[in-house]
Amino acid sequence: LAALFLPLGGEYLSRLVLFDKTLDPHERRLVFSYYEAVVKRHVFARGAQSKVFLSKNPPFTMRLDSLRTTFPDARLVCLLRDPLESVPSMVSYIAAVWAFFASPRVAYPNADGLFDFCIQHYSYPLVCFRDKSDSKHDIPPSGSGRFCGGPAGTQVAFVYYEALRLRLVAVVVALLQDLGYTRAMSSEFLRAEESLSSRYRSSHGHSPELCCQRSPTEMREIFKTIYDTFDFDGFTPVLK
């Protein structure tokens, strides 16, 4: 949100966005010590009913090391979407937001900066969970939707976006079971949500050539490490 009001924030916003890579350890500890205190107050206020604190926070992607350090028993879920779909969508979406608040002179403002932003967000989880190894087998089974042990006991689950969209109930139930959530859930509600998600189609068009000035072949080469690690074309939905 800060980027919308401070589009020329430059290095200051970059330090905030890239967090683990740009802030020194002392700054990171200060920020996460405060965040930890906020979480503890929230859980305390909820009383005995609050056993698991769930945070859906996309910026945490660039804060994974700080999260592991502050919450060593945390379980992390990384959502995977094909860069050929997600990156142009991101550039297109931000362009629409900028056009709403201002009058940009180009169709896709700061497209190169946003493209680099996406590269960082795809590559950083691999850095965190491979633990200095280049072997794809050190990554928990991609898209399985189940928690697996990572470096230093980290529990992480990688879930394909398409699996979540097409098999919402199976993915969510598997994750909740691993989290120890045993409260009964309405199957009618879950099936209705699955029906909606499987039919969802984005309302704005986007293509790598138009939004990113790069062909699909160029995109696959730039994200080669990601494509070598995760099989977006042949993903296996949870609980086939």
Q: How confident is the model at residue 139 (pLDDT cuts 50, 70, 90)?
A: very low
Confidence class for position 235, pLDDT limits 50, 70, 90: low
Can you give the pLDDT at residue 9?
52
Q: Which residue has the tokens 């097409």?
A: 166
Residue 103 corresponds to which amino acid?
S
Q: Beta 75-80 vs 148-149: how paired, if at all? A: unpaired
Question: Residue 176: what pLDDT?
Answer: 76
What pLDDT is recorded for position 152?
47
Contacts of residue 165, Cβ cutoff 8 Å, sequence gap at least 6: 197, 198, 200
Residue pair 219/84 in contact (Cβ under 8 Å)? The answer is yes
- Percent of the chain residues past pLDDT 70, beyond the cut: 75
Report how far residue 30's alpha carbon sits from residue 84's, in angstroms, rounded to the nearest whole number: 37
- Predicted local distance difference test score (pLDDT) of residue 136: 42
Confidence of residue 79 (pLDDT cuts 50, 70, 90): confident
Cα 96 to its chain centre, rounded Å, is: 21
pTM for the model stands at 0.80
SS3 88: helix
Which one-letter amino acid corresponds to residue 238?
Answer: V
Of residues 23 and 46, more confidently modeled: 23
Sheet holding 75-80, edge to edge: 75-80, 155-160, 148-149
Report the DSSP beta bridge partners of residue 149. 155
User: 96 or 12: which carries more pLDDT confidence?
Assistant: 96
pLDDT at 143 > cutoff 50: no
Q: What percent of the chain has pLDDT over 90?
A: 30
